[in-house]
Amino acid sequence: MVFSYKGGELYCEDVPVSKIADAVGTPFYLYSYSALIDGIKAYLRPLSRIGGIVCYAVKANSNLAVLRTLFREGAGADIVSGGELFRAVRAGVDVKKVVFAGVGKTEEEMAYALRMGILMFNVESVQELEVLDKVAQAEGKKAPVAVRVNPDVDPQTHPYISTGLKESKFGIDVDEALDVYMMASKMEGIEVVGIHCHIGSQITKLSPFVDAVDRVIELVDRLKDKGIGLKYMDIGGGIGIRYKDEEPPTPEQLIDAVADRVKSRGLTLIMEPGRSVVGNAGLFVTRVLYVKKKQNKTFYVVDGAMNDLARPALYNAYHEIVPVKERGGSVVADVVGPVCETGDFLAKGRELPEIERGDLLAVMSAGAYGFAMSSNYNSRPRVCEVLVKGDQFFVVRERERYEDLVRGESIPTFLLEV
């Protein structure tokens, strides 16, 4: 295990977490290089055997050092904005392994991606298709396109991260997709190359994936009958991780379950893993400011907050929390931050050791949707990010300063007049 106790102290690989805290301050995000490598290879190995492509979901963790680590191993990128494309290019991605998803691509983003020569756009609406056709013609190019099909399969996950049901804003209903493909095939600026589906995130069963693939394969066969042949089948991401007691399938199990279905149609399988690559490769480390006891309730007030790690407040998500230096005793407590919101918590009603002021806590499984979702709410500078490799650690994003909070802001001259 890359995060483990040695002599009563939590280590990341071969570095004590407390040593990093002493050097960089708190709070901070901490990532393990070896865990990142293991996470991406869990997809690269089985997919390489069938000629598939891994497009890491940049939204999960977009730090340049994290991206560079994954791209050097051969991963591409699943992006949802021009900014994510910029980051991926800066980190050295092979642009021929980039897919552009998302319901709200702008014309500027489309043109940028066309100029970069990405693998394909995952189109999510008829109007988007029409706009992309116009932009591609203006650029003198053909836009390679996959239509994102909504298979109406229940992924059995949190409703906020369920994306494959009819009421979702994502994709085009499978029953309407044939007409959209026929329309796309006649557009001068569009080249139809693939089909895409993504039913949700933090999915812990194989059956929703297999059901979705089966529904999409039916459409692939109907398209072929209409003379529309495809090259790629992108089944998205969404494999869950263990936060508490979940038992998700492995990437290899999922690939084995769908590979024959995809290969039998002559399609290249694309997957877009995010959380399952980086989620358990990272921690969020925070220091206890105060121990507050109120009637029969104990609060551990820490210097990390909902603006740093939004998942507990946003989804009521569970993250295991452990002391960086082992402690005895037991108390049921809330772990809360300094932000002025009742929803500012990292854990509620959690059984924890007896913690003292100044102790360090590690919030586990925080490598995905941690820093990437952070903000400056309450004018709090965003935290630093650290990468550990073996017995060395590297600050891969500096902690913001107060001056960074007002960078780009200005006061009009009329407000400066006395």
**Residues labelled catalytic:** 340
By C-alpha distance, which of 283, 338, 286, 349 is closest to 307? 338
Quote the DSSP letter at residue 167: T
Query: Within 10 A of 300 (CB to CB), how many other CB atoms are there?
Result: 25
Cα distances (angstroms) measured from residue 303 to each of 115, 135, 288, 358, 375 = 44, 47, 7, 10, 15
What gap in Å lies between CA 10 and CA 14, rounded to an integer? 10
Run of H or E including 347: strand 345-352
Q: What residues form DSSP beta bridges with 350?
A: 333
The CA-to-CA distance between both ends of the chain, in Å, stands at 63
| Residue 267 and residue 231 in contact, taking contact as beta carbons nearer than 8 Å | yes
Residue type for 118, please?
A: I
What gap in Å lies between CA 415 and CA 220, rounded to an integer? 62
- 358: Cβ contacts below 8 Å, ≥ 6 apart: 287, 288
Name residue, tokens 């290899």. 252
By C-alpha distance, which of 321, 324, 341, 342 is closest to 333? 321
